[in-house]
Chain A
Amino acid sequence: MLAHTLLFYFFSTVAVFSSLMVILSRNTVYSVFFLILVFVSISILFIMIGAEFLGMVMLIVYVGAVAVLFLFVVMMLNVAEKKNQKIVNKGLINNISVGSIVGLIIFFELLVVIGGWKYKGDFVSLSSISINDELTNTHALGNVLYTDYIHLFQIAGMILLVAMIGAITLTFKKRENIKKQNYFDQIGRDKESAVSLVEVESGKGVKIDD
């Protein structure tokens, strides 16, 4: 239990620290790296409370796709160059005031939610639901996803396929006049097709037709 607590504090400290670094870091590329660190720590926290599916999905979706997309955007836009600008400028005061107002509102909303929890309606208590402890989340999801909801799963697959076809048709441009490698042609060349003997007259060059 102690190890669990220690690990929890370790990963949450990392998460809080790196989330601060996301906004404090002057180099945007570093910000994105810290963002990835936040996601990884959070997903580990998820795994620690037994929500291993959520943790893994978080890793795949946020780290694997979203953060990499951010990284690409940052590199494409070349925002990293601005790192030399001083962080204290005119906009900062405005930003801090607006940011802190938003932060305060979120804080109060959280208070309301947590306070309102006391007056919550009659939910089904957890003990009355039969939960099989042996089953992991992934297993339980798979059990319904591939049986009761198999048709929905397959239709969702078709939607993704169509999205892919659409993206390719709307953006793919076939470029003409490009020399491509053709291994069979290249390996299949022999002496007759590649070398020819030309008699050169004196004082004249050789015309090589390509």
Chain B
Amino acid sequence: MQTIIYILPELFLSLSIMTLLIVGVFVKNSFKIINSLTILCLIFAVALVLNQPQETTKIFNNSYLIDKFSMFMKILILVFTLFILTISRDYVKKNDIDKMEYPIIIISSTLGMLLMVSSYDLIVFYLGLELQSLCLYILASFKREDEKSTEAGLKYFVLSALASGLLLYGCSLIYGFTGSTNFEVISNNLDSSNKASIFGIVFIIVGLAFKISAVPFHMWTPDVYEGSPTSVTSFFALIPKIAALAVFIRFMYVPFINVIDQWQTIIIFLSIASMILGAVAAIGQNNIKRLMAYSSIGHMGYALAGLATGSNSGVQGTIIYLTIYLVMNLGAFGCIFMMKRENIYYENINDLSGLSKNHPMLALSFLIILFSLAGIPPLAGFFAKFYIFMAVIENKMYTLAIIGLVTTVISAFYYLRIIKIIYFDKPKKPFEETYDWGLKGPLILSSILTLMYFIYPSSLIDIISSILIY
């Protein structure tokens, strides 16, 4: 019974999933009420996570770890899921995907991610991963009459199942050569003299890289982002990245820390390739969702650069980067949800032309967020990149730093192109005004946070520096 308090958030979420299902069956046209109840459940879950004991604890035979790192990641996951639900509420209603299962599947995948983040054992990790990816397959093909959405769902399902297979193969190799599925035992038994276990590590990295869509395992990202409904795309771009990156950090720094010289080069390669592809491939895109996909690939490259250092400052840089990335992307998707005329949502970059004449405030917040994504000081995005590059240079990885800086400059081009379209092109018909505070609120919050971050940067750094991975 003692352990109940440590799994209270997960327990609460699973019970609320079941309760919401029953409510959804018995109440007619229940999307609205289920959506609100889901948001309420997420708020409660955040409170439960905050209320957990602060000390590091392992439960269930050391297979489940609660520490500050996992708690921080859980809060990120829950809070941003909440925001995604509020900003996409109107979109979901207008696009006929307002079924009561939609929010339920979203919190089910959130539950899977909470399990992933806390896992300290290969089996728990894999089950959590499967729970979240199963939900993501369903979400991607949620608009089932739409050809593109079905295609996205099927594509994601096939490729992700393949990645899961590779990951499982890696897990079985690791288990075979270390004799345990527990992270701590694996860490003790793993040494670089054993070449076969390196295979296992590589396979696990491949699986994880697929989940955060790092190059060369990124092929699915643009198609899935473009094909799925925008509300789902915004979920895809934010939430699974948190969980996958958290697990990535956990894997590299707990079980595999002794073989760092084996995996470091792999991560550096993934990072460089993602940064370059993210910067170059996004240039020719006209669909804003595709552009966000390539931009997220690039951003994951920077996050991996911090991870590749193998130092504590690097990991802290990665976590800060992730947090700021989430805030910026929330804003960016908020702006995309604003592109609506007569109940039709527009996705082309050219639809934005002359936005500044019709909607000066929306254009301004888009400007702030895009500048921040490009990494221009003094906005938050600049600081995120700054911490990463500081850590990289501290560890004398100059090639990585130089390539990172060059790709930052290249990627600034396509962000600036959107700004040029917004501010200097001929105005089109104005978009509809929205009075939905669920959409406006997070957008304003995100813009203000990105703009004002430089005033008090230590607020975030203090929290994150108290998180020790190992």
Q: A residues near B, CB below 8 A?
A: 148, 150-152, 154-156, 158-159, 161-163, 165-166, 168-170
Contacts and interface: CB of A to CB of B under 8 A. Distances in A.
B115 A165 contact: no
A166 B137 contact: yes
8 contacts: A158-B131, A161-B17, A165-B101, A165-B104, A166-B135, A170-B138, A170-B141, A170-B142
Contact of A158 (B64, B101, B108, B141): B108
A136 B142 CA distance: 45
B142 A162 contact: no
Contacts of A163: 134
Interface stretch (B121-129, B334-342, B447-455): B121-129
Contact of A148 (B18, B61, B115, B124): B61
B218 interface: no
Contacts of A169: 99, 101, 105, 138, 142
A174 to B, nearest CB: 10
B49 to A, nearest CB: 17
Interface string B40-68: 00000000000000000000110110000
- B-side binding surface: helix, strand, loop or mixed? helix
A170 B101 CA distance: 10
Given A148-B61, A151-B60, A166 B131 contact: no
Given A151-B64, A165-B101, A159 B124 contact: no
Contact of B134 (A151, A152, A166): A166
Interface of B: 7, 14, 17-18, 21, 60-61, 63-64, 99, 101, 104-105, 108, 111-112, 115, 123-124, 127-128, 130-131, 134-135, 137-138, 141-142, 144
B64 A166 contact: no
B134 A159 contact: yes
Nearest to B59: A151
Task: Please classify the interface of chain A as helix (H, G, I), strand (E, B), loop, or mixed, using the class held by over half of its residues.
Answer: helix
Nearest to B60: A151
Contact of A162 (B99, B131, B141, B144): B131
Nearest to B153: A170
Contacts of B60: 148, 150-151
B130 A159 contact: yes
Nearest to A157: B14
B128 A155 contact: yes
A159 B64 contact: no
B274 to A, nearest CB: 30
B108 A151 contact: no
A162 B127 contact: no
B343 to A, nearest CB: 22
Nearest to A166: B138
Contact of A152 (B105, B127, B135): B127
Contacts of A150: 60
Pick from A151, A159, A163, A165 the residue with the most CB of B within 10 Å: A151
Contacts of A159: 127, 130-131, 134
B108 A162 contact: yes
Nearest to B21: A165
A188 B21 CA distance: 31
A154 B130 CA distance: 13
What 3 A-B pairs are tightest by C-beta distance, nearest first? A166-B138, A155-B127, A169-B101
Nearest to B123: A152
Contacts of B142: 169-170
Nearest to B104: A165
A159 B108 CA distance: 9
Given A152-B123, A166-B134, 20 more contacts: A148-B60, A150-B60, A151-B7, A151-B60, A151-B64, A152-B124, A152-B127, A155-B115, A156-B127, A158-B131, A159-B131, A159-B134, A161-B18, A162-B108, A162-B138, A165-B138, A166-B135, A169-B101, A169-B142, A170-B138
